[in-house]
Chains A and B, each alone.
Chain A
């Protein structure tokens, strides 16, 4: 599901609108499929039945009874417990009993080790809860239909929407229960593994990233990026030392709350160094940070600071700084009226390079306690479970259990970061030579991509087909949830708090986006089909 956090930061209205469009499209597609299905199974009456059902469904929504939903929730819940879904704890217990052996228990702990502990716990928890939920949600309703126990439910005043919702909530509750127990155990485990003197490593940094980064080249002109030093991770750009090359960040919303308890503005960076000649390898490269306000023609530059390669480096800038013997207040004099602060970084060493990307410099707000981030990450897993539950339950109303499970898994798989990016390429990559049919035609006719197609109705059809297909792909790409939003454990294991705008909010919205289409799908699937096992 599509919700672009960057877009949101720039313009919340547009991004909500886009989100709503995708939700609408998805609902529409679900309705359309239901209608086609009805026409296929009941002939011409199908259309009439479809609109009747649409009315019924709307009426159902107003007759929803919490007590009935709760009854079905409890049923699902009891079923899962009595069918021994909780035996997953055995696996969990075993894993944690033996994990200690492999993780070691040294006196002194490095930040990387903390990261391993945290991500071990959170990954284990998600990989244990996901399959449980997947199985429960994909096999529940099909079993109910196969054993026909659903007959005794649908001949009671239980609405189909309630059946679907009851299932979803029940399974999600089980998932959350399992998750909560594991998370509590995991939390204690992490804290216990880390000796007292290393406990400060368990923290949640709260970064405020710059909204954008700009580069000046060695002559001091604006450039799209810095220098590429052949680093395969091309996301960092490099600036050359002792030239006019600079990297410039703009930070928004800088105010009192950005300062730490001592009144310092903390900048944290993870710059990387690139040496064009060896020089003195033991001597680090140096950079400085300049705060500037063009409107007041004011600039403050820090002392040269060593690059802390492969590690984070913290620079504290006091609120009151002295420039040319005059004292200035950073918040009053450097932060402009739009509450923006401009920051420039330069490399000091001649013919050496320092590499940076937008996220390599941030204002570090006061830290939050570890448990806060940890439980936000757990929330991220809970949301993933909810998403899987919704997709799985609604898939299982249409097809048999194993197929529903495969389908749900495929959707989950596609949602993973790399696969999602591949879809992006599919949808946005094709530019020249038209869409699917058109390019086939061009291939067969040995036609170049830039040649004009003859104007006749056949090609209009071809183009229309391609347009539809492309839009369908577009929808698929936007509909498949982007699991990266849900990947809150990654923040926590890297020692960060889970950010609201780029992770929690999108996850919530993506999850919410599925509620309507999934319920509509569940309703129609259970209504338009005879609930006999076939």
Chain B
């Protein structure tokens, strides 16, 4: 039963980019296996060139795997009919630059066989949702700034009210306000029970919105698990309170000592996903092949 709950199943997926003559150039992805469940927000992290975009493209059938296989919404990546329920925001907004915002959404709406009324209603709603200024909606996309293009890109990805949304760096190019909106949007999608797979470099946001994350390094899966589990240091307790006086602090330390606890440090808490990320990258660089998977959900 849990099998059918998987919106995405990736098994042993590898991708080798080849040149024109078929000679291998880069091994962009190596034996990746992961499942993404219905209704969760999954973050794919990793330094530049670690294979995040490659993974998304393999899932969408834009690239063909060298090895391994992919099931998405229970269908193969090559199946066009799966796209009915998928929304995809590419890394850069590859849209038609000579169309304006309305025409763009209208065009993509038609590809979903939506009627004129549906398209009109949905476009208005989405343009409001992504907060594209009304006065720029009739301008051609080639005149748009990066952030505006990004917004219309997101609107385009949601035109069909998809069950599975794949966002490749949704926040790139957005201003802080836009970032905030994006976060809300993703949480909103989650609240509607949609599955979201996103790549991002903004770790603070990922930490806030993602249920689970995977960190890739050099095409290999290094860390995977629930965000809260990953960030919970197993054998440490963090105590947080309002600022203590020196005397009070001394007292607390004494109590801890009495209980044989070893005080490591008492400090303000840090943006810890960043720590985890940096640690993972550092470790991967030093100890290739090492892997740390904490995935409670898939164990139970």
Interface residues, chain A, CB within 8 Å of chain B? Answer: 40-42, 52, 56, 60, 65, 67-68, 70-71, 74-75, 78-79, 82-83, 147-159, 530-532, 534
Q: B89-103 CB contact bits vs A (8 Å, 1 = yes)?
A: 010101111110001
B132 within 8 A of A: no
A154:B62 contact, CB within 8 angstroms:
yes
B99:A78 contact, CB within 8 angstroms:
yes
11 contacts between A and B (CB under 8 A): A56-B78, A78-B99, A78-B103, A147-B94, A150-B94, A151-B90, A151-B94, A155-B86, A156-B108, A157-B83, A157-B112
B156 within 8 A of A: yes
Smallest distance from the beta carbon of B288 to chain A beta carbons, Å? Answer: 28
Complex Cα gap A65–B109 (Å): 13
Residues of B in contact with A, size category = 20 to 34
Partner of B113, one of A65, A148, A150: A65
Partner of B94, one of A52, A78, A152: A152
B80:A157 contact, CB within 8 angstroms:
yes
Count of A-B residue pairs with CB < 8 Å: 79
Q: Known contacts A78-B98, A82-B140; is A153 also within 8 Å of B22 by CB?
A: no
B83:A156 contact, CB within 8 angstroms:
yes
Partner of B111, one of A52, A83, A147, A153: A153
Closest A residue to B63 by beta carbon equals A530
* Chain A residues closer than 8 Å to B156, beta-carbon distance: 152
Smallest distance from the beta carbon of A71 to chain B beta carbons, Å? Answer: 3
A-B contacts besides A82-B98, A147-B97, A530-B63, 19 pairs, CB < 8 Å? A41-B22, A68-B110, A78-B99, A78-B103, A82-B140, A149-B96, A152-B88, A152-B95, A153-B111, A155-B62, A155-B88, A156-B112, A156-B160, A157-B81, A157-B111, A157-B112, A157-B113, A530-B62, A531-B62
Complex Cα gap A328–B119 (Å): 75
B95:A149 contact, CB within 8 angstroms:
yes
B113:A83 contact, CB within 8 angstroms:
no
* Chain B residues closer than 8 Å to A153, beta-carbon distance: 111
Complex Cα gap A82–B84 (Å): 30
* Chain A residues closer than 8 Å to B63, beta-carbon distance: 530, 532
Partner of B96, one of A52, A65, A79, A155: A79
Closest A residue to B111 by beta carbon equals A156
A152:B90 contact, CB within 8 angstroms:
yes
* Chain B residues closer than 8 Å to A60, beta-carbon distance: 80
Smallest distance from the beta carbon of A478 to chain B beta carbons, Å? Answer: 32
* Chain B residues closer than 8 Å to A82, beta-carbon distance: 98, 140
* Chain A residues closer than 8 Å to B64, beta-carbon distance: 42, 530
A152:B108 contact, CB within 8 angstroms:
yes
A74:B107 contact, CB within 8 angstroms:
yes
B60 within 8 A of A: yes
B94:A159 contact, CB within 8 angstroms:
no
Smallest distance from the beta carbon of B143 to chain A beta carbons, Å? Answer: 12
A157:B84 contact, CB within 8 angstroms:
yes
A71:B62 contact, CB within 8 angstroms:
no
Complex Cα gap A481–B92 (Å): 42
B83:A151 contact, CB within 8 angstroms:
no
B110:A148 contact, CB within 8 angstroms:
no
Complex Cα gap A481–B140 (Å): 40
Closest A residue to B160 by beta carbon equals A156
Question: Closest 4 interchain pairs by CB?
Answer: A71-B110, A156-B111, A82-B98, A148-B94
Closest B residue to A81 by beta carbon equals B98
Q: Known contacts A155-B83, A155-B86, A530-B64; is A79 also within 8 Å of B94 by CB?
A: no
Complex Cα gap A154–B64 (Å): 14
* Chain B residues closer than 8 Å to A79, beta-carbon distance: 96, 98
A149:B107 contact, CB within 8 angstroms:
no
Closest A residue to B82 by beta carbon equals A157
Closest A residue to B59 by beta carbon equals A155
